[in-house]
Amino acid sequence: MRARTEAGEAVGLPPGGGAPDAVVPRPGAPRALVDAVRLRLAETGSEPTPARVAAALRAQGRLLGDSAVLGVVEALRSEMVGAGPLEPLLAEPDVTDVLVTGPDAVWVDRGAGVERTGVRFPDAAAVRRLAQRLATSAGRRLDDAHPWVDARLPDGTRLHAVLPPVAVGCTCLSLRVVRPRAFALPELVAAGTVPPGGDRLLRAVLGARLSFLVSGGTGTGKTTLLSTLLGLVGPGERIVLAEDSAELRPEHPHVVRLETRPANQEGTGRVSLRDLVRQALRMRPDRLVVGEVRGPEVTDLLAALNTGHEGGCGTVHANAAADVPARLEALGGTAGLDRAALHSQLAAALSVVLHLARDRRGRRRVAEVHVLEQDGHGLVATVPAAVWGPHGFVRERGWPRLERLCARGGGAL
C-alpha cells in the first residue's frame, strides 16, 4: 500500500505528485458497465487485467474500443487493488491519517490539522465496498451483523470503519498510517515536536532507565514519540512490546512484538492486552512497553514496574499531564484495584510523564514534562518539571526532582 499503484496513476495525479482531483471512471466506462464486469471477474476470481476485462465485455455482448476498455480497467483497479483511490494519499510521506466521511468528503492530516482533498468516490456504495475489502484483507468481518471494525492491515496501517445505519448517511472510514521506520530524535527536533536542546532531557530519561508514560490526545503523536525514544535504548537491551494494534516501529536490533487478537466467530480465541502483559513478563524483558494503557492491564504494568522491571513505558490518553493519575485511577478501577492501592503502586512504579499536545496551528509538540510526587495522604500528583518553549524547555518547580532522578540512574541534564 505504500507504492503508488496503477490505480493511483489512473486517477489523474497532477504533475509533481499530490492529491488527485477526482477518482471516477473515464468517459465511456459507465457505472453499470463497471459493476457488471466487476461481478463477472469476482465469480472467477480473476484480476482486472485488460485482456480479462475485454473478455468479460465480449461475454456480455459489449464491443468497446481500447480507451473504453482501459477506462473500465482503471476503475476496477481503483476499487480492487490496495486502498483504491486512497492509495496516493497513503503514499504521501507527510500524511498520518486519511479520513472518509462521504463519497466526496475525503480528508487527510499532514501534521497541521485535517484538510479536505479532491479525491472522490463514485458513490456511497463504493466507500462501503472499499471498507469491506480492507476489513477482509485484515482477516476481519464487516457487514450488517458486525457494522464496525478496528484492525491492522497487512502493511501495518490502522483501519477503523463503521457502516450505516450506525454511521449516518455513508460508511465512515479512518486509516492511520504507520511509517516503515521511526523518526530519529534530531528529526523531531527539526520538526518542532521537541524544542531545541530538548533531546538532551529525553536522552537522560532513557539513559537513567526511568519508567515513563507518554500522554496526550488522539493524533498528538504519542506512538511516534515512543517509537523514537525506544530507538535510544542500548543495543544490549531486550524490548518487549505489548500492543492492541502493532504500531510501534522502534529502530532497535532486539524487539519482541506481541499483538492482541479478537475472538473468532464462535466467540473464542481472544487474547487481551492484559494477557500479553502477563506473557511479556515471562520473556525476560529489559524494557516492558505497553503500546496504549487503556484498561485492566494497568494493574499488571504497575506491578511489573514495581518488581524490578525498570525503564518500562507506554502511552495513555489524557488531556494534560496533571490528569494522568486520575486517568490511571479510573483504569485501575476496571480491574477492581481501589484508589489507595493504585496510588501506592503508582508512586513506586512511575517517574515521568511526557505530555504531547497540538498547538493552534495543529502542530504536535512535547508540551510538558512532569515528575510524580506523593502527598501526605498517599495520593500521587504530577509536578511540572519542564514546559515547551520556542528556544528550549523552560524549567519549572519539578526540575530539581527530575535532575535527581536522572542522576540516580547515571543520566545527566
pLDDT of residue 139: 80
On whether residue 392 sits in a domain, the answer given is: yes
**Mean pLDDT rounded to a whole number for the chain:** 82
Q: Report whether pLDDT(38) > 90.
A: no
Q: Are residues 192 and 157 in the same domain?
A: no
Range of the domain at 35: 6-176
On whether residue 343 sits in a domain, the answer given is: yes
Q: Report whether pLDDT(225) > 50.
A: yes
Comparing 73-82, 191-200, 240-249, 397-406, which segment has the lowest mean pLDDT?
A: 73-82
From 133, 155, 176, the end of a domain falls on: 176
Q: What angle do CA 68, 73, 77 make, to 5 degrees?
A: 150
Q: Measure the CA–CA gap between 200 and 230, rounded to whole angstroms.
A: 15
From 176, 194, 222, the end of a domain falls on: 176
Q: Phi and psi at residue 98, in whole multiples of 5°?
A: -120, 125
CATH number of the CATH domain containing 139: 3.30.450.380
Q: Report whether pLDDT(51) > 90.
A: no
Q: Measure the CA–CA gap between 391 and 196, rounded to whole angstroms.
A: 6
Rounded mean pLDDT, 53-80: 63
On whether residue 1 sits in a domain, the answer given is: no
Q: Are residues 241 and 167 in the same domain?
A: no
On whether residue 315 sits in a domain, the answer given is: yes
Q: Report whether pLDDT(97) > 70.
A: yes
Per-residue pLDDT tens for 182-211?
789 999 999 889 999 999 999 999 999 999
Per-residue pLDDT tens for 299-342?
888 888 887 788 999 999 999 999 999 999 998 888 888 888 88
Q: Are residues 169 and 284 in the same domain?
A: no
Per-residue pLDDT tens for 333-386?
888 888 888 898 898 889 999 999 988 877 889 999 999 998 888 899 999 999
pLDDT of residue 203: 94
Share of the chain above pLDDT 90, in %: 39
pLDDT of residue 61: 64
On whether residue 193 sits in a domain, the answer given is: yes
Higher-confidence residue of 268 and 78: namely 268
CA 354 to chain CA centroid, Å, is 18
Structurally, how many domains does the chain consist of? 2
Q: Are residues 232 and 353 in the same domain?
A: yes
Q: Report whether pLDDT(6) > 60.
A: no
pLDDT of residue 321: 93
The model's confidence at residue 36, banded by pLDDT at 50, 70 and 90, is low
Rounded mean pLDDT, 246-265: 87
pLDDT of residue 128: 93
Higher-confidence residue of 59 and 305: namely 305
Q: Are residues 124 and 16 in the same domain?
A: yes
Strands 239-243 and 255-259: parallel
Peptide bond into 165 cis (omega under 30): yes
Q: Measure the CA–CA gap between 187 and 234, rounded to whole angstroms.
A: 20
On whether residue 413 sits in a domain, the answer given is: no
CATH number of the CATH domain containing 203: 3.40.50.300
